[in-house]
Structure 1
Amino acid sequence: MSIRIAFDNPPEFYTNLDFISGRVILLLHRHETIGNVIVKLEGESHTALTLPPPADRDDYYRHRPPGTGIGNVVTENHKILYRVFQAYSDDGTGIPLQPGQHEFKFNFKVPLNNICHDGKAMGSLLGLGGLGSGFRTMDGTKQLMLQHIKATLPPSLTGFPQEAEIRYYIKVTIQRPGFFKENWRHQVGFKFLPVEPPRPPKTSQEAFARRPFTFKPRSLTHQRKSFFASRSSTTSPLEDPSQMPPSIEMSARIPFPSIITCNEPLPLRLIARKLAPTTSRDQQVYLTALEVILVGYTHVRVQNLLNTERTTWVIVSAPQMSPPIALFENPAHPVDAEFEIPPTLWKTRRLPNTVAPSFRTCNLARRYEIEITLTLSWGLPTPSTNPFVTQKQLPQSITLPLKLSKIDVFSGISPPRELLNSVITNTITTTTTTGPARPPQLPQRPTPQQQQQLRPPVDPLYPPQLGTASAAMYDDAPPSYDEAMADQLAGPSARPAYSGVTAENSPSTMPPEKS
């Protein structure tokens, strides 16, 4: 016997509103009797942290769960996605299958938002199966005891062993009637990248980080030897314009709101502004080194324990620029004149495909910053081994750090235009009318009394299996306006390259949950 899950035309990764369809392929080598074939679409956000000593976190130990001690690991697992599809149902007695290959089709549609924030949806999952049915379902009571937020489904994420990961996968359970027969189970993972939120309209505003600086004055006096005279002359730097230190302000700018896109170059501008007049080319300043780093901060939460992991991606690294870039080559440039550094170093450098978009879910969040390091030199850099260069003539260098905070990284997957229009229309209608906008009409659901009348009597000692006529009925929570509109739309077609989970089917590195 072997079980395999085959996707229909799988993309590099799935996103919101995508249809995930495929087949469960069962290969039998002998006659078997099976029951229901249940396929589940699941997503988990799993975190784990080690408990600190009591002296460090007295507040945590004042409210810590029973049974935990120093050095123990606490975990928190959120079922951010949970959908069930019955690929095959029997009449309660089982269906005999001949040896050979058998296929069972399934089909899901990925929603926009996570499910764990919805208490009604979690509560409805309690009645998904029956005691003794042999079909394991998610225990919604555990999710109801955790802190949740409503947000778009987060991207697949690994790289933090024993601490945090976000995974998505398809699970299949094939029930086998019989007291001593174990159900067959199989699962396969897939990558997920969410659609980006609606982008704000473009403006001419820019977010910036700037730093003014002035080089140190050179030696107060220096001697000049005349070829025809042996006497020496002394000149003050105030009398010699070439000895006055240059004063410049460096700034890094990106369009505001501060948004960059996965797998696209940085919309960065580096600008130098002249703060003091110059009268000689000897006061020339050169950009000799440049480094641009994208810094990601992953915030991990388990109960009231918090930890932040720092990850860096080098976008530009030019420790020795050849040739250096001269700033304000013309001494006649007035004060407050600006010089933009040519973006040739970074305009073709795309973000690595391992950069996940910014997100925030119940127990994990990711935010970004851009750190820029500039090295400038007063005077053209010369080799230090040159015997004809005196100490006075050595160039003076300075290193300036610039930081752009609160950077949002978008996935680059635009939501369907129909969904954006529906959101805008719903927002305008809500703000211009006295009452809330009416969502799309949903089909009426039977009342609990009607449901009870439709169900035949069931012996509590022998509950029916899922899918039979006497099985417990369950309903999903009513969808929001955006989700109701999204049900009518297909997933976006254009999407960038994304690595995310490098081995989505590798074993999990997270510690087991404690019951």
Structure 2
Amino acid sequence: MYSSSGINPAAFTNGLYGASSMQASVILDQPGNVSFTNLDTISGRVVVRSVKSADVSAIVVKLEGESRTRLMSRPDQPGERPKPLVEYHKILYRVQTVFPPSEVASQAGGKASYTLPQGQHEYPFSFKVGCIPMERKLGKKLTVKTKIPFNNTCSTNQQMPMMVGLEARPATRHVKKTLPPTLSGFPGEAEIRYFVKVTVNRHSIFKENPRAYAPFNFFPIEPPRPLHSSSEIYARQKHKFDSFGDDGVKEKMKGIFGKKSSSVPNSPISSGQTPAISVDARLPEPAILTCNSDIPLRLLVKKMSDFNDQIYLQSLQISLIGHTKVRAHEVFRTESNSWIILSRSNMGIPINFPTGGTESEAMLNNIWREQVLPNTVAPTFETCNIERSYQLDMRVGLGYAGSSAKPQNVVLPLRLNILVFSGIAPPPELLARIANAKTKPAAPVNEKLKMEGRQDPDFGANQIPPTPIEAEGSTAPHLPARPGMAAEEEYGDAPPSYEDAIAMDAPPPAAERPQYAPPPAGEDHLLRQDEKRGWVG
């Protein structure tokens, strides 16, 4: 286990903790820009450097995921100052002891100490991103690679971290769903992070335990997609351009301030109908967008009256609106942010209808086909204290310049509720196991899942949200939740969930993965606090 090979000393600056006589570092085998997903293997090595011989009891590596939120409480009485509330969830927790070896530890007992010689020591580790072995449920003890489960492992008996000066109490609401992606961009308010942490347990209680951690991005596998269908969901806006030209406006002014003329002005109404149109934004049902992929959007303009004048596409803006619901116990708020997919103005593109009568439809130019969702967009998710939902917002600017009417421009807003998937499809072997499990008649687990709502027959049901956008004072729309199973009793020895059980020994996704680059997490002393050391930088 001892290695004298040289390592760049800069590696010890990443998450370096501990006494001056001993230092620890975590080095991952994968490059830093890789985003891990379910069924992946996270491997690396722990490097411990000691300037002199030291007694240690164990070197432990942990694979952890945390979801933390912080909000100010509502004052119960007038004049009362609000207090910061912190809600903490350990959504992932896996432990692996790399020193001493299991056979040595079983012979020596739990309170044994081991002398670590002076020098540099390396200990490899490996975590399989997937499921807990079923043998644990049966009471067997096996030496296997632990996997990151599909569902979070949050439980009601988790240990709360020490938070000085903050009101941190155990959470009462737990959601059993797919592990959420890494989330940042809300400093001091909300954060989801994943990391590998090493702790060198010293035998003496008077000596500090060296610690180090290596963060990584997590990007979950998307759920099985429903079968393709020809149906679509849509949002629609109607508009009728004004029929008064310059002569009509002058005639109306004369009627107000002077004598009306007996002659009838030349008006567009006398020669033809005023342009009346409707604009549709349509997406395949269910409305699913994929990270780092283009948008399967259709924009249609339909005649609602018989007119011959030309209508132009003047501007077009397509934005993705993200609504992040942050909860800290009984207090919650919704943060909204947006990503501009496309923004064009002064286009002047003529809209040509196939026929001259009413009900004729023209599809707008697909200039957004080359635009993809940014790599900073996280897929739709819901975990215990943070939830993310999305809307697709479109602003269609139309122009009309009739033969006798004044030039007119109008911007029609359209908005659709959508789901965002990661683009990491489950392996074919896993899909086959899911399909096989669904075809088994009256299986006890299958019946239990039906009772708990895990099999949703209305997934992707057609929903037509109101447009334009939302009324003043309304909150962000809430996408239908998919209820999950009960929380596990313990972290390490909990029985596997249904998804974890059928994913046993399934290979990792082999397809090319989209890039995921959430905003870099800054120094957040309000949320990042270690359960043993207090503040963590």
**TM-score normalised to the size of structure 1?**
0.76
The whole-number CA distance in structure 1 between the counterparts of 2:169 and 2:296 is 41
1:52 corresponds to 2:81: no
SS in 2 for 1:334: coil
Partner of 2:520: 502
The 3-state SS of whatever aligns with 2:283 is strand
In structure 2, what is the equivalent of residue 106 of structure 1?
125
**Structure whose CA Rg is larger:** 1
* SS of alignment partner, residue 482 of structure 1: helix
1:400 maps to which residue? 412
- Distance in 1 separating the partners of 2:268 and 2:55: 98
1:238 match: 269
Unmatched tracts of structure 1, length 5 or more: 57-68, 127-135, 137-141, 224-231, 381-389, 440-472
Q: Distance in 2 between matches of 1:196 and 1:474?
A: 24
Partner of 2:442: 433
Partner letter of residue 335 of structure 1?
T
Kindly provide the amino acid, as one letter, of the partner of residue 92 in structure 2. L
- Structure 1 runs of 4+ aligned residues shifted over 3 Å read 90-93, 142-145, 219-223, 434-439, 506-509, 511-515
Residues 154 and 360 of structure 1 are in contact (CA less than 8 Å); yes or no, is this contact kept in structure 2? yes
Aligned to 2:91: 80
Alignment of 1:485-496 (within 5 A): 485-493=502-510, 494-496=512-514
TM-superposed CA distance for 1:171, in Å, is: 1.0
Query: Per-residue displacement from partner, 1:442-473 (whole Å, max 9, x unpaired)?
Result: xxxxxxxxxxxxxxxxxxxxxxxxxxxxxxx9
Q: What does residue 446 of structure 1 align with?
A: none
The 2-side partners of 1:262 and 1:253 are apart by 19
Q: What is the identity, as a one-letter code, of the residue corresponding to 2:38? A: N
Contact 1:373-1:399 within 8 A present in 2 as well: yes
SS of alignment partner, residue 191 of structure 1 = strand
1: CA distance between counterparts of 2:26 and 2:405?
72
1:339 correspondence with 2:370: no
Residues 475 and 312 of structure 1, relative CA distance in 2, 3 Å threshold: closer
Q: Which residue of 2 aligns with 1:325?
A: 349
Q: 1:293-329, CA deviations, whole angstroms, 9 ceiling, x for partnerless residues?
A: 10000001111111000010001111222xx121236
Local SS of the residue matching 2:35: coil
**How many angstroms does 1:501 deviate by?**
4.5
Displacement of 1:508 in angstroms is 5.0
* Contact 2:238 2:276 (8 Å CA) reproduced: yes
1:3 aligns with 2:29: no
Q: 2:277 is matched with which residue: 248, 261, 275? A: 248
**Maintained 8 Å contact 1:207/1:256:** yes
When residues 422 and 176 of structure 1 are mapped into structure 2, their CA distance, relative to the original with a 3 A threshold, is same
Report % sequence identity.
38
In 1, distance between residues paired with 2:177 and 2:169?
Answer: 16
Q: Say whether the 8 Å CA contact 1:299–1:306 is kept in structure 2.
A: yes
d(CA) in 1 for partners of 2:40, 2:496: 17
- Please, which moves more after superposition, 312-321 or 419-428? 419-428
Paired with 2:499 and 2:443, the residues of 1 have a C-alpha distance of 20
**Matches for 1:70-469 after TM superposition, within 5 Å:** 70-89=81-100, 91=108, 92-109=111-128, 110-117=148-155, 122=157, 146-219=172-245, 221=247, 234-241=265-272, 244-278=273-307, 280=308, 283-321=309-347, 324-328=348-352, 332-344=355-367, 346-379=368-401, 394-405=406-417, 407-429=418-440, 432-433=441-442, 435-436=444-445
Once the two structures are superposed, residues 168-221 of structure 1 have per-residue CA deviations (whole angstroms, 9 ceiling, x without a partner) of 111111111124222111111111111101101110111100111110112384
Shift of 1:148: 0.5
Change over 3 Å in CA distance of 1:513–1:54 after alignment to 2: farther
Unaligned runs of 5+ in 2: 1-21, 129-147, 163-167, 251-262, 449-489
Q: Deviations over 1:96-153 (max 9, x none)?
A: 2332210112121221110014x6xx58x99xxxxxxxxx9xxxxx997521011000
Letter in 2 for 1:477: A
TM-score normalized with structure 2 length:
0.73
In the alignment, residue 287 of structure 1 is paired with which amino acid?
A: L
Q: CA RMSD in A?
A: 3.0
Q: Conserved in 1, the CA contact under 8 Å of 2:244 and 2:405?
A: no
How far apart are the structure 2 equivalents of 1:180 and 1:333? 89
Larger mean Cα displacement after TM superposition, 74-83 or 2-11: 2-11
What is the CA distance between 1:31 and its match in structure 2? 2.2
Amino acid paired to 1:78: H
User: Aligned residue pairs: how many?
Assistant: 422
Offset of residue 340 of structure 1: 0.3
Give me the whole-angstrom Cα distance separating, in 2, the residues matched to 1:273 and 1:214: 12
Alpha-carbon distance between aligned partners in 2 of 1:507 and 1:161, rounded to the nearest angstrom: 6
Q: Identify which range, 98-107 or 485-494, moves more after superposition.
A: 485-494
For residues 214 and 36 of structure 1, what CA distance do their matches in structure 2 show?
Answer: 76
The one-letter code sitting in structure 1 at the alignment partner of 2:362 is F
